[in-house]
């Protein structure tokens, strides 16, 4: 069972990917994690990717797919995997599909965790973080006992730049321009499934399990 997770930043697809991986006993494959592991281990592919990253450039899609295929060829991916963070563009999806075709493989499900922009902006701009101990809160859903103060260490909580409404809007604009077209791409392939990401994460997961099967 090979699964791709789709959805806007802040939609909760990473959380769902981890839950899917745990339930079905398949690896949660994040491109960021793969890059870090390859660079740390000094692999040939990792060193090639590092050349681009050190210059602040994006790693070319073909190289990213090579690193990804190297990861999913490992024994723990024999029953499948959940891809999180890739593909992000139509070109990446094309390169991935072509590479999988060559080894007689394909994606079984592309799951879109659908959340409207206004929900995401409210969700992310409500986050607060403690820079001292790393604890995170949400002013609506997981508020600290004392406003603006970390329960664990008593330090001041901050709204990170990444979570500011303006930053979130910019990230959503990039998503709609580059990544949202993947929904139509996988719909045409007949593998797209959409779930309502505005409900409780347990209910989102239950809907995903309903799609994937017990």
* Residue 71 falls in the annotated catalytic set: no
Domain ranges of the chain: 2-116+179-212
One-character DSSP codes across 146-211: BTTB-TTT-PBEE--GGGSHHHHHHHHHHIIIIITHHHHHHHHTT-EEEEETTS-HHHHHHHHHHH
Tokens for 11, please give them.
């939609």
pLDDT averaged over the chain?
A: 93
SS3 23: helix
Residues 163-207 have pLDDT tens digits of 999 999 999 998 999 899 999 999 999 999 999 999 999 999 999
Question: Rounded to two decimals, what is the model's pTM?
Answer: 0.85
pLDDT band per the 50, 70, 90 thresholds, residue 46: very high
User: Nearest CA to 146 among 134, 156, 136?
Assistant: 156
Strand intervals (E) in 42-107: 81-84
Under 8 Å between Cβ of 195 and 207: yes
pLDDT at 38: 94
* Residue 13 falls in the annotated catalytic set: yes
Residues 91-115 have pLDDT tens digits of 999 999 999 999 899 999 999 999 9
Q: Which position among 71, 88, 123, 128 bears the catalytic label? A: 88
Q: Which position among 23, 160, 169, 189 bears the catalytic label? A: 160
Superfamily of domain 2-116+179-212: P-loop containing nucleotide triphosphate hydrolases (3.40.50.300)
* Residue 128 falls in the annotated catalytic set: no
Q: Which position among 13, 66, 71, 128 bears the catalytic label? A: 13
pLDDT at 58: 83
**The pLDDT of residue 25 is above 90:** yes
Q: Distance between CA 44 and CA 70 in Å, rounded?
A: 11
* Residue 202 falls in the annotated catalytic set: no
Q: Which position among 2, 66, 123, 127 bears the catalytic label? A: 127
């Amino acid at each position: 069972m090979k699964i791709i997770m789709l959805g806007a930043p802040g939609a909760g697809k990473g959380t769902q990917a981890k839950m899917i991986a745990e339930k079905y006993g398949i690896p949660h494959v994040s491109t960021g994690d793969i890059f870090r592991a390859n660079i740390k281990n000094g692999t040939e592919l990792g060193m090639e990717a590092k050349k681009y990253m050190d210059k602040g450039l994006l790693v070319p899609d073909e190289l990213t797919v090579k690193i990804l295929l190297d990861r999913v060829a490992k024994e723990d991916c024999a029953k499948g995997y959940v891809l999180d963070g890739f593909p992000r563009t139509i070109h990446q999806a094309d390169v991935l599909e072509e590479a999988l075709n060559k080894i007689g493989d394909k994606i079984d499900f592309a799951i879109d965790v659908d959340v409207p922009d206004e929900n995401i902006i409210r969700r992310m701009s409500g986050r607060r973080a403690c820079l001292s101990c790393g604890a995170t809160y949400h002013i609506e859903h997981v508020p600290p006992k004392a406003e603006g103060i970390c329960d664990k260490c008593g330090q001041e909580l901050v709204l990170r730049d990444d979570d500011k409404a303006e930053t979130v809007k910019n990230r959503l604009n990039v998503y709609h321009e580059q990544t949202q077209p993947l929904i139509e791409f996988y719909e045409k392939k007949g593998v797209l499934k959409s779930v309502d990401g505005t409900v409780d994460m347990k209910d989102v997961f239950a809907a995903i399990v309903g799609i994937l099967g017990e």
